Amino acid sequence: MQNLKQVIAHAEKHCINNGSRLTLKRQRVLSGLVLSKRALSAYELIDFCKKEFGETLQPMSIYRILEFLKDQELVHKLDLLNKYVACEHINCNYKHLVSQFLICVKCQKVKEIHIDKSVMTGLQRNVEKVGFCLDSPQLEMNCICDACISSQA
């Protein structure tokens, strides 16, 4: 991930362009996600803000901030873990493709990759064939990262 100051500056500009503001509290929560090497829960972000900034944020505030950051496409919520990660492409200026998240079940490291449009079209067709409508195209897969595989050897 790029320099934290650059990421925050880009996120601020992105929010302004969308008619909103990246407040100091939002910046701090986003910083925690950008600096983390794994997905974080709301409560882990509360601990991060307390430790790094001496600021105690209430759970409802954190959840509102996370929802804002998610709506701005700066972070992603991982439903399998009920945790959040900063978008790996946070500094891009293009519309993001469908994300697939590879989640290490050992260390909870997360890697965001994109799915080819043809794969998503096929998945969408399969879903519709059986009478369902895809609610979210985001895919999350439990995996084991190379570092964890190496440490088992």
Q: What is the pLDDT of residues 111-136, one digit of tens each?
A: 999 888 888 889 999 999 999 998 88
What six digits make up the tokens of 107? 């260390």
Domains of the chain with CATH codes = 1-93 (1.10.10.10), 97-153 (3.30.1490.190)
| Beta strand segments in 1-153, E | 75-78, 83-86, 99-104, 110-114, 139-143
Q: pLDDT band at 1, cuts 50/70/90?
A: very low
Instruction: For helices 24-35 and 59-71, give the axis angle rounded to 10 degrees.
Output: 80
* Global pTM value: 0.86
Residue 32 has pLDDT above 80, yes or no: yes
